[in-house]
Amino acid sequence: MTPDEVFRPETYADGVPYALFRELRASAPVCRIGEPEVAGWPAGPGYWGVFRHADVTYVLATPELFSSNLGATQIRDPDTPADLAFVRSMMLNQDPPDHSRLRRIVAAAFTPRALRELSSEIDGWAAAAVDGIEAAGAADFVPVAADLPVRTLARVMGVPERDRVLLLDWASRVIGYQDADQAGSATADPRALSAAGRLALRHRPASSTGPDGRPVNPRSRAALADMFAYAHALAERPLPGSIMARMREGGLDRAEFENMFFLLAVAGNETLRNGLPGGLHTLLAHPEQYRLLCERPGLLDHAVEEMLRYWPPVMNFRRTATRDLELGGQLIRRGEKVVVYHASANRDETVFPDPDRFDLTRPTGGHLSFGHGPHFCLGARLARVQMRAMLRQVLTRLPRLRPAGPPVRLVSNFQNGLKHLPLRWG
């Protein structure tokens, strides 16, 4: 495989190319990657891929050299200058100090105290999810796992229970835009939604392609018109104490408000939606580790961290060089794209001995699945609480858990996800 294969979504249809990452860490830890046209998406100028743990952490920790704001944080460039200006208003696409200002507005919802207050509800939702499948003896675990972060986000954001399916559809469209099964997700029944939910459906774009026949960027304002119509309707009467109330009071301009809603609704969803099925699939693929965890439930915290290291939910993020500089022996010019590969860094031999071994007794720490530096994931604690809650239920109530068929991967060069994970127990 050539280095350019790490860009192609189809490369990931059968799994993350860890063997290629290993070769690149050894021979070309910072190298040029091409962006050919893919499935109607136009070709791009290419970028610098970064594969070693030390270089990835350096890039993420130095926003003054590697900006999240200049070109935003997705490999693909926004379609127009207006699209770029819009997405640059998102907290994820800001550099300090603007990033810090936006982060403070919503940070109170993710403090240890706030999570302690929420944890009993999360335990209840995880239990209810397993209640729904326990007697059947078999189920596809992906939709079971996907409902937990949706319920949690609806609670934190103040989204009515009957509208939470919208969060699932929006995340599917954005996370799975490179996968034909996910890109057009539309499972919400208008009759079951609130007035704001029905309003959102009326604003849903009729097509995912533009007048030129090219796909519309799924993160653009045009592609997310229904989400933003809903956000504004919900903000008119926000639930007291919810993130929506904080956003309304936080002095956000229109673009900042819409992008903050997008970030919470989608990014707050993707880690669990990918990490839970991927982590459980990994555990069952290593039956000796599954037996160990069943025998030693005190290893659960270690298990969560090793699952996140071994199956990073997000595989990469983009930065843009703010000036000419050198990294890994390569001259990078101002304005060039720099893409760090968390999935490669998490298997770096210099940080994780025998990195391809899945080991629940491995010392925790060091993995980059929640990022590093000023953009370290605000919801990392919440994600861990949810993973532990669901895994406790699964491990204690679904005995002799085993695969019931092959998993089906999400086609994406960004998200490390599964569309189906058939399981059997008892």
Question: Structure pTM?
Answer: 0.94
For 327: left if phi > 0, alpha if psi spans -120 to 50, otherwise beta; the answer is beta
The CATH code of the domain that includes 338 is 1.10.630.10
Lowest mean pLDDT among 24-38, 63-77, 131-145, 231-245: 231-245
> Please, what's the largest Cα pairwise distance for the chain?
61
CA atoms within 13 A on the CB side of 173: 28
Task: State the pLDDT at residue 240.
Answer: 86
Amino acid at 119: S
Which phi and psi (to 5°) does residue 401 adopt? -65, 140
- Give mean pLDDT, residues 27-36: 97
Torsion angle of C-alpha atoms 239, 243, 249, 254, degrees rounded to 10: -110
Percent of the chain with pLDDT over 70: 99
Provide the 3-class DSSP secondary structure of residue 189: coil
Kindly indicate the confidence band of residue 127, based on its pLDDT and cuts at 50, 70 and 90.
Answer: very high
Q: How many domains does the chain have?
A: 1
pLDDT in tens, 358-394: 999 999 999 999 999 999 999 999 999 999 999 999 9
Which structural domain, as residue segments, surrounds residue 277? 3-424
- Give mean pLDDT, residues 352-363: 97
- Give mean pLDDT, residues 317-336: 98
266-300: b (≥16 Cβ within 10 Å) or e: bbbbbbbbbbbbbbbbbbbebeebbebbeeeeebb
pLDDT in tens, 201-215: 999 987 766 677 677
